[in-house]
Amino acid sequence: MKRLFWILLPLALPAFAFAQDADPLRFQLERTESGFIRLDRETGAVSLCREAEGDLVCRMAADERAAYEKELDLLGDRVTALEKRLDAQPSQNALPGEAEIEQSLSIMERFMRRFMEIIEEFTTERDNAEPAPQRT
């Protein structure tokens, strides 16, 4: 599950960086003896930040990281359960069995027989009907 975290992290970083740039009043920085604490005013998330080579580098607080990893584990479990459920379902590309073919042909045969009976009734009625008078 940790490997999934490291795979998904690079995908999430651009969105995270974009979200930071969206609202300049969203975050509040407070200086501490070891660096900074950054408060996300929208979510309430707290990050520990320090200066490194002129950049501010932030990490999630330990309790948030644990909650984040727990959420990733839960999502991973859901994905696994969904994959198992999908694998258990019969393939939709499978060809019908002999019994299904016979049942389909039986239904089609009954339909055709009934359809032909209806056509025969109309034909018989038309042949037995009196001819229309000539109006010429």
How confident is the model over 8-62, as pLDDT tens digits? Answer: 455 555 555 555 556 778 888 888 888 888 888 887 778 888 888 888 888 877 7
Q: What is the mean pLDDT of residues 53-72?
A: 81
Q: What's the pLDDT at 17?
A: 54
- Specify the higher pLDDT residue, 11 or 89: 89
Q: What's the pLDDT at 131?
A: 67
CA atoms within 13 A on the CB side of 65: 9
Rounded CA gap, 57 and 27, in Å? 14
Q: Tell me the pLDDT band of 81, cut-offs 50, 70 and 90.
A: very high
**pTM greater than 0.75:** no
Q: What's the pLDDT at 10?
A: 53
